[in-house]
Amino acid sequence: MTPSALVIRSLIVGFIVSLAVITGFAYTTLFERRILARLQSRVGPNRAGYLPLPARGGKGERRLLGGIMQPAADAVKLFFKEDSTPVQVDKVVYNLAPMLAVIPAILILAVIPWAGEITIFGQEFTPYFAIAPGVNVGVLFILAITSIGVYGVALGGWASNSKYAVLGGIRTAAQMVSYELALGFSLLPPIMLANSMDLGVIVAEQKGLWFVFVQPIAAIIFYIAALAELQRSPFDLLEAEQELSSGFNVEYAGMRFGMFFMAEYMKMISLSAITVVLFFGGYQGPFVDQVPALGFVYMILKIVASLFIMIWVRASLPRFRYDQLMKFGWKVMLPVALANFVVTGVVIILAEEGIIF
């Protein structure tokens, strides 16, 4: 395959995957609202749109999937809201920040393998199906891009020229720096086990045994650090309603606020996907060798499960205090991740030398 054909194919796949994930983002908001409501003994949005079904016994109708059009209603509302710009903001940065937040969230998807070797419409995707398959520094790419994500939030807070917003932005920056380390160290064991930074290779290595069973501590730390990276509850200090009213996005309205919202949920999806890829076997599952398309199904099911846990945690746990957050990040997460990483390295070398196992 020529390089130009490869580029065109990547563009097409990237377009489709991005659209799919944006739709996924819309329905993640609905999923979160419905699940959160059920966890709190409520019903959640169930009015906007439904699939009518004939009722049992033929009278009236049953309503299936009530609220299915809620994301569309939300989007329409956000688009038609007045998008006012406060007078004293730094206009360029203020407008740039939401985009800086969204773009990295979408960029992460580039290296995520969605299925194994597969042929779709005569196109053969080897060695696996991704927007950019075979990137041999995939994990590094993810770390780099997630770090850029903090700029959107921090600059949004700064450019708003508001005390609440700038406090939210500063908190984000501090929190990201603290948890990025634990995140990085918990990423290393899967890389060492697979002996590659290519996400496809990491998934292929998990064919027999998912890395979560080999590296449970790394998986837990990665998941907690990912929650902190997402600024989701219980790490949602940057938008602590009680203290900062809404934090970094308090001066934003309309679709620019919607883009921050979108960035948060896109990152939820992409970090869930990374968790699945690194620790939960990615697209691996029963019969995936015979029917490669099942890879998409397994991947999506695992991502939905991960999203459910994030929502579940949000409904259950109170927010960290700022000093608790720092203490937990630096005094618990980082040492445990570091120890886990060292022990894993030693054990791998001992195993390679034939001393144990």
Partner 1 sequence: MFGEILRGLGTTLKYMLRPPVTVQYPDVKRPVRHRFKGRHALKRYDNGLEKCIGCALCAAACPADAIFVEASENTDDERYSPGERFASTYEINMLRCIFCGYCEDACPTQAIVLEKDYELSFYDRASAIYTREMLLDPVPESGADTPQQTPPGVFTRSIPDMEDPR
Three state DSSP letters for 115-134: ECCEEECCEEECCCECCCCC
Give least dist CB 307 to partner 1, A: 15
319 DSSP 8-state letter: P
Span near partner 1 by CB under 8 A; candidates 278-286, 291-299, 313-321, 346-354 = 313-321
Question: Residue 211 and residue 348: Cα distance in Å, rounded?
Answer: 14
- Work out whether 126 is an interface residue with partner 1 (CB under 8 A): no
Question: Residue 230 and residue 264: Cα distance in Å, rounded?
Answer: 7
Question: Residue 238 and residue 322: Cα distance in Å, rounded?
Answer: 10
45 DSSP 8-state letter: S
Judged by beta carbon, residue 36 or residue 73, the one nearer partner 1 is: 36
Give least dist CB 308 to partner 1, A: 10
Span near partner 1 by CB under 8 A; candidates 103-111, 251-259, 269-277, 307-315 = 307-315
Span near partner 1 by CB under 8 A; candidates 34-42, 134-142, 208-216, 242-250 = 34-42
Judged by beta carbon, residue 44 or residue 281, the one nearer partner 1 is: 44
- Work out whether 313 is an interface residue with partner 1 (CB under 8 A): yes
**Closest to 247 measured CA to CA, from 237, 256, 255, 234:** 237
Span near partner 1 by CB under 8 A; candidates 25-33, 85-93, 114-122, 309-317 = 309-317
Span near partner 1 by CB under 8 A; candidates 75-83, 105-113, 172-180, 308-316 = 308-316
Judged by beta carbon, residue 42 or residue 163, the one nearer partner 1 is: 42
- Work out whether 317 is an interface residue with partner 1 (CB under 8 A): yes
- Work out whether 315 is an interface residue with partner 1 (CB under 8 A): yes
Question: Residue 155 and residue 327: Cα distance in Å, rounded?
Answer: 26
Span near partner 1 by CB under 8 A; candidates 130-138, 188-196, 292-300, 311-319 = 311-319
Question: Residue 119 and residue 292: Cα distance in Å, rounded?
Answer: 9
Question: Residue 169 and residue 249: Cα distance in Å, rounded?
Answer: 9
| Residues 6 or more apart whose Cβ sits within 8 Å of residue 127 | 117, 133, 134, 200, 204
239 DSSP 8-state letter: G
Taking CB under 8 A as the criterion, the residue among 1, 2, 3, 40 binding partner 1 is: 40
Distance of CA 210 to the CA centre of its chain: 20
Judged by beta carbon, residue 192 or residue 313, the one nearer partner 1 is: 313
Judged by beta carbon, residue 60 or residue 345, the one nearer partner 1 is: 60
- Work out whether 43 is an interface residue with partner 1 (CB under 8 A): yes
Strand, helix or coil for residue 64: strand
The answer to whether the beta carbons of residues 131 and 200 sit under 8 Å apart is no
- Work out whether 35 is an interface residue with partner 1 (CB under 8 A): yes
Judged by beta carbon, residue 40 or residue 88, the one nearer partner 1 is: 40
Q: Contact residues for partner 1 (CB under 8 A)?
A: 35, 37-43, 312-313, 315-317
